[in-house]
A and B are shown apart, each in its own frame.
Chain A
Amino acid sequence: MKKSSLLLSTIFLAILVNYVPASAASRVAVSIDPPSVQANMGDKITYTGTITNNSGKAIDNVIAYISLANVTQGKEAPMDLEDWSANKAIKVDAIPPHGTYEGKWPMRLIDSGSYVAYITVVDKNDNIPISSMMSHLEIKRILRLNPNNVLPVALGEPVLIGIVFMVIAFKRRSRVK
Chain B
Amino acid sequence: MKTAYIMQKEIKESILTPKGFLWYILTSIILSILSYLFLTNSELSLLDQGQMLYMIMNFITALGILIGLVFGADAFAGEIERGTLEALFLSPASKMEIAMGKLGAAISNWGIIFAISLPYLFVVGKGGQNVLTGIVYLLILGTLLAITFSAFSMGLSARIKSMKNSLIISFFMFLLAGAPIFLSAALRRTWFGRILDLINPFADAINTFDSVVIDSQGFSYQAGRVAIICGYTLLSLWFLKRSVSGLEM
Contact = CB atoms under 8 A, between A and B. Distances in A.
A155 B32 contact: yes
A158 B17 contact: no
Q: Residue among B22, B36, B45, B46 with the most chain A CB within 10 A?
A: B46
A115 to B, nearest CB: 15
A62 to B, nearest CB: 21
Contact of A154 (B35, B46, B215): B35
Interface stretch (A71-79, A116-124, A165-173): A165-173
A151 B40 CA distance: 10
Contacts of A150: 35-36, 39-40, 123-124
B46 A158 contact: no
Contact of B17 (A147, A162, A168): A168
Nearest to A87: B185
Chain A contact-residue range equals 20 to 34
B32 A154 contact: yes
Classify the interface of chain B: helix, strand, loop or mixed: helix
B32 A158 contact: yes
Interface stretch (B23-31, B79-87, B237-245): B23-31
Contacts of A41: 46
Contacts of A174: none
Contact of B116 (A108, A155, A161, A169): A161
A144 B35 contact: no
B40 A147 contact: yes
Contacts of A155: 32
Contacts of A110: 46-48
Given A150-B35, A153-B32, A154-B35, A168 B21 contact: yes
A147 B36 contact: yes
Contact of B29 (A151, A158, A172): A158
Contacts of A108: 48, 214
B18 A172 contact: yes
Interface in B71-101: none
Contacts of A111: 46
A42 interface: yes
A149 to B, nearest CB: 6
A172 B17 CA distance: 8
7 contacts: A144-B39, A145-B45, A149-B39, A150-B36, A150-B39, A150-B123, A172-B18
Given A108-B214, A145-B42, A157-B119, 17 more contacts: A42-B48, A85-B214, A111-B46, A143-B42, A145-B39, A147-B36, A149-B39, A150-B40, A150-B123, A150-B124, A153-B123, A157-B32, A158-B28, A161-B24, A165-B18, A165-B22, A172-B17
9 closest A-B pairs by beta carbon, nearest first, are: A154-B32, A169-B18, A165-B21, A158-B28, A150-B39, A147-B40, A154-B36, A153-B119, A144-B45
